A and B are shown apart, each in its own frame.
Chain A
């Protein structure tokens, strides 16, 4: 399996990244090298192996559904790049 510049463009779109032509070329080569190396895993038969998602056997960590204080607005907005009337401001979603 080999990936093309077109694949890289598609993945960049999914990842919300815009790449220069130089970056596209470079990533295509490097990702191909890394993925080729990763094909090594196909040497192993894993049909009857369970995947490990976490090393600890912890499942469904729940807490009581109780009200807890939320963060004060001035703290939440401390790092907001743009704000108005105690809300975070962003460019128009719809044109």
Chain B
């Protein structure tokens, strides 16, 4: 059995008993990467030399009584839009293909404090724009369950690495579904925390009012451990929330008797694959068997969420990506005529097609004469979407539905049609707009590809989300299945 099939607690028990060293864990990770990475393509940069040196230091510590971090010795991968000092960070963009960060993101500092080992940086859609990893400007990551299929995105490398055993856990980022949807497509657990729970300092900004970092793991308990390590107020992020951080692991007590579940009819209606719907209904039966009750509810503004999201996220992106001008970092175009020409050439050569499309959409939506009609209108509709959730949460503890309307699709099948691609996010986007937490847990297969169950909670109520996900997971076997590579 692979060490990566063990739970965090089991690995720590073996480390304590000296049956295992951190170097063994890191060896095994790179061995697995050596076997499967040429198929999966989850990583953009490996950190092997440093990781092995770090493992040796941790092994020295293991021989002493020094207190150990929460994630001690666990080999982790980090999405390549989270900056790591001295370790290349590209956002999967040619523009940043040589970028060598001069500081660590707050979550990276927290992982160091928790004593996990960074294996490398993970592939993604360029600047987190996309849902398939086909927008990586280096190479697409492949779905470990079927190498001809997309892993989802934008955190496709983060999900594929966990599913294929190329990392014990990973960090991703979620703007409109970019942790949950790839977790669903790859059959792993992906958590998007409440907006503001995890610091965004050092996350290369895509849409600042939506971006949130979260863990991708093989099981819910590990998700709770990683969240514990990365959550908390940070004065380097002005949108960081000052809230008390509960003990997430102790919330996993299996008790969901009397839990009230709302199931939005919009999440099981038109556009949802019948096989996905079937898996979700079967999961609701399992939860009923554990003492929960569910009723159909309505989130009436769901159909407006995708349009709202693309206007807001693209507008924010057009502003955030203005910093990439070739002056201070990134790849500067050769032989510019003058300063403006340098900006234009560097950006035009450095950005891929989807990034340009969203910058264009956002610039248009923010431009003089259109601001009220598009950007302001979308901000107002966002309020209505958020109110939908407030109303349901007045009477229900969690909202449950699918994570994505379908399972993973074949590579290349949707690249010519951006609008269809955007509609893959129809059930993750409203949650992002409302800013509330949600997790995707494996709930079965349709035509050989994994299906994800999305459990959505009240703001800052990750404990309930994790408890429900854990209770469900422990009653099923889906999370134990691994792809054959």
Contact = CB atoms under 8 A, between A and B. Distances in A.
B102 interface: yes
Interface in B283-342: 301, 303-304, 306-308, 310-311, 318, 322, 325-332, 336-342
A16 B419 contact: no
B225 interface: no
Interface of B: 98-100, 102, 195-196, 209, 235, 238-239, 241, 301, 303-304, 306-308, 310-311, 318, 322, 325-332, 336-345, 347-348, 351, 353, 356-357, 359-361, 363-364, 367, 373-374, 376-384, 386, 418-419, 422, 433-435, 459
A61 B459 CA distance: 20
Interface residues of A, number: 52
A75 interface: yes
Contacts of A8: 360
A41 B378 contact: yes
A62 to B, nearest CB: 9
Interface string A12-32: 101111110001000100110
Nearest to B460: A56
- A-B pairs, 9 with minimum CB distance: A55-B435, A51-B379, A79-B329, A81-B332, A46-B380, A61-B238, A52-B382, A15-B363, A75-B102
B360 A11 contact: yes
B336 A56 contact: no
B239 A58 contact: yes
Given A34-B361, A55-B209, A81-B327, 10 more contacts: A16-B340, A17-B344, A30-B418, A38-B378, A41-B308, A41-B311, A42-B377, A52-B433, A55-B434, A58-B196
Contact of B239 (A7, A16, A38, A54): A54
A12 to B, nearest CB: 7
Given A49-B380, A92-B339, A17 B348 contact: yes
Contact of A56 (B196, B303, B330, B377): B196
B195 A55 contact: yes
A89 to B, nearest CB: 9
Contacts of B363: 11, 14-15
Contact of A79 (B328, B343, B347): B328
11 contacts: A8-B360, A14-B363, A14-B367, A16-B343, A17-B348, A34-B422, A46-B381, A54-B209, A56-B196, A56-B239, A79-B328
B383 A71 contact: no
A76 interface: yes
Contacts of A49: 380-381, 383-384
A65 interface: no
A19 B209 CA distance: 29
Chief secondary structure at chain A's binding surface: loop
Which of A8, A61, A63 has its CB near the most chain B CB atoms (within 10 A)?
A61
A55 B113 CA distance: 29
Contacts of A31: 357, 360-361, 364
B381 A93 contact: no
A13 to B, nearest CB: 9
A6 interface: no
Nearest to A63: B235
A75 B209 CA distance: 29
Given A49-B384, A56-B196, A23 B239 contact: no
A53 interface: yes
Given A51-B379, A52-B379, A55-B434, A11 B303 contact: no
B189 to A, nearest CB: 24
Contacts of B434: 55
Contacts of B384: 44, 46, 49
Nearest to A71: B102
Given A37-B307, A38-B311, A79-B330, A56 B348 contact: no
A79 B304 CA distance: 42
Contact of B331 (A37, A56, A81): A81
Nearest to A51: B379
Contacts of B336: 91
Nearest to A3: B364
A36 to B, nearest CB: 9
B347 A17 contact: yes
B360 A27 contact: yes
B81 to A, nearest CB: 16
A9 to B, nearest CB: 11
B359 A15 contact: yes
B102 A79 contact: yes
B382 A34 contact: no
Given A16-B344, A56-B195, A80 B380 contact: no
Contacts of A30: 357, 418-419
Contacts of A50: 380, 383
Given A3-B364, A27-B360, A53-B209, A88 B347 contact: no
Contacts of B347: 15-17
Contacts of A19: 348, 356
Contacts of A42: 377
Contacts of A7: 364
A88 B327 CA distance: 7
A63 B237 CA distance: 12
B391 to A, nearest CB: 15
B319 to A, nearest CB: 10
B238 to A, nearest CB: 4
